[in-house]
Amino acid sequence: MKDTIVLYPAVGRGHLQSMVELGKLILTHNPFFNITILVPTPPNTTITKFDHTTFDCDSAITFHNITAISSPHGGDTLPPHLLAVELSPRSNQNFHHTLRSISKTSRLKAIVLDFMNYSAPNVTATLGIPTYFYYTSGASSLAVLLHQNGLVPVPGLPRLLKSDMPEPCDPSHPIHHVFLDIGRSMRQSAGVIINTFDAIESRVIESLKEETMPVFCIGPMLSTPSGEEDKNGCLSWLDSQPSQSVVFLSFGSHGKFSKTQLKEIGIGLEKSEQRFLWVVRSELDEASLDELLPEGFLERTKEKGMVVRNWAPQAKILSHDSVGGFVTHCGWNSVLEAVCEGVPMVAWPLYAEQRLNKVVMVQEMKVALALEKTIDGFVSATELGERVKELMDSNEGKEIRKNIFNMKIGAKEARSEGGSSLVALSRLGQLWKE
């Protein structure tokens, strides 16, 4: 029998992609293990079932599908972030059967759960398998999750406003009780693996060491979609731009804006007088760019700007020498990509833990400028234009650029021999070998 580590992501391609990258990382530094990834597939939905052969994986990584039990309450129509936590308890029966089946041919040394699979320890405890959680965001949002029913202020973090907190921290939120359960499950686990590293969240990481469970900071680990192609010619366009002169604007796969907000962004970019590469996602999928943007915008800015619809190869763009700034939704993977490439940011959070990430980026890491919004979340052209210009052409912008360059060095050191992240991976490997 081969020693095997089981990874159990939440439903959704992003969660699966992140677990695949974790599996590869574990194998790179602990090649004596096999990795089995369980793929949750929700029943009775239009969510695409993933073809795991599209992932470029070592033969030591295998996949097993787990189907959830249908809900009589129509839960399968929930939005993705709610569906993930709703599926967790419903999948436990098939999860249990799958683990017993795998254990007939493998020695299960540990199981690593996506934090959304909060109810799975009810199964692993009956089988005596050491259980860990993998937290794909940063240590700061983990600290908030663990302390939302306790200490305020949160140890290791600046003072937080209610508006900075993720929505489920609100007791009136429909899954608030689930997030309390997630925190309890994590505290009772064998440990929590976090996609961060000491240099960017040192204060809060130190405070997490006081928790009942061990923490293992193994980042930065980046989840870049396989086959990331430049279909729009973004990289060719960047090749013709001066070094560090272009501001890149991209807001993630769910970052769609109204026509009014898109027009305001366009006006703001013109006001900034900076070169830009802008990925436009709209609530109106069928509308043309000419309909969505200010009249004549594309013609007026064609010498200094490029606009593409829906998607661009973000990792490759951020690594390009011409890119000197990044207006981001503050998703953690995007933050890590920018840090690893030394690209300073303007923070425009949209949902989930992104508002909290903004506070950390601006006040703790000091690698971003914050955008001011109206009470309904609208950003004016003047505000965007001023912040972009400040990032690219001011003393404060230079200071932020210096800070993120130092963190880029810290990221490399964390992943180097003897670095904090590789030491954490080695600790895990030793625990799992015992």
Domain boundaries, the chain: 2-219+417-433, 234-412
User: Mean pLDDT, to the nearest integer, of 82-108?
Assistant: 90
Instruction: Compute the chain's Rg from CA coordinates.
Output: 22
Cα distance from N-terminal residue to C-terminal residue, the chain: 15
Alpha-helix runs per DSSP H in 188-278: 202-208, 234-239, 259-272
pTM for the model: 0.94
Please say whether the beta carbons of 246 and 275 come within 8 A: yes
Angstrom distance (rounded) from CA 370 to CA 184 = 33
pLDDT at 274: 98
Other CB atoms closer than 10 Å to residue 347's CB: what's the count? 24
Please say whether the beta carbons of 276 and 246 come within 8 A: yes
Question: If you ran DSSP here, which 8-state letter would residue 128 be given?
Answer: T
CATH number assigned to the domain covering 2-219+417-433:
3.40.50.2000
Local confidence band at 130 (pLDDT 50, 70, 90 cut-offs): very high
Which range has the worst mean pLDDT, 73-87, 347-361, 401-415? 73-87
Residues of the chain with pLDDT > 90, as a percent, come to 77
Residues of the chain with pLDDT > 70, as a percent, come to 91
Per the DSSP assignment, residues forming a β-bridge with 61 are 35
- Is pLDDT above 90 for 427? yes
pLDDT at 286: 78
- Is pLDDT above 90 for 150? no
Q: Give the pairing type, strands 275-280 and 323-328.
A: unpaired
pLDDT tens digits, 257-316: 999 999 999 999 999 999 999 999 998 877 899 999 999 999 999 999 999 999 999 999
Q: Average pLDDT, whole number, for the chain? A: 92
User: Mean pLDDT, to the nearest integer, of 78-89?
Assistant: 74
pLDDT tens digits, 303-317: 999 999 999 999 999
pLDDT at 279: 98
- Is pLDDT above 70 for 94? yes
Question: If you ran DSSP here, which 8-state letter would residue 256 be given?
Answer: -
Angstrom distance (rounded) from CA 303 to CA 325 = 18
* 179 vs 47 pLDDT, higher one: 179
| Superfamily designation of domain 234-412 | Glycogen Phosphorylase B; (3.40.50.2000)
Q: Known catalytic residue: 329? A: no
pLDDT at 334: 97
pLDDT tens digits, 191-216: 999 999 999 999 999 999 999 899 99
Which H, E and C letters describe 3-27, residue by residue?
A: EEEEEECCCCHHHHHHHHHHHHHHH
Question: If you ran DSSP here, which 8-state letter would residue 404 be given?
Answer: H
Q: Which helix (H) or strand (E) holds 417?
A: none
Grouping H, G, I as helix, E, B as strand and the rest as coil, residue 34 is strand
Q: Give residue for tokens 């606009």.
A: 307
- Is pLDDT above 80 for 44? no
pLDDT at 90: 85
Which range has the worst mean pLDDT, 106-120, 162-176, 366-380? 162-176
pLDDT tens digits, 173-192: 888 999 999 999 999 999 99
Could you tell me the two tokens for 169?
Answer: 């921290």
Local confidence band at 229 (pLDDT 50, 70, 90 cut-offs): confident
Q: Give residue for tokens 């200010």.
A: 294
Q: Known catalytic residue: 114? A: yes
Of the residues 3, 97, 114, 173, which is catalytic?
114
pLDDT at 49: 56
pLDDT at 148: 77
Query: Quick one: residue 366, left, alpha or beta (phi over 0 = left, psi -120 to 50 = alpha)?
Result: left
Local confidence band at 73 (pLDDT 50, 70, 90 cut-offs): low
Local confidence band at 39 (pLDDT 50, 70, 90 cut-offs): very high
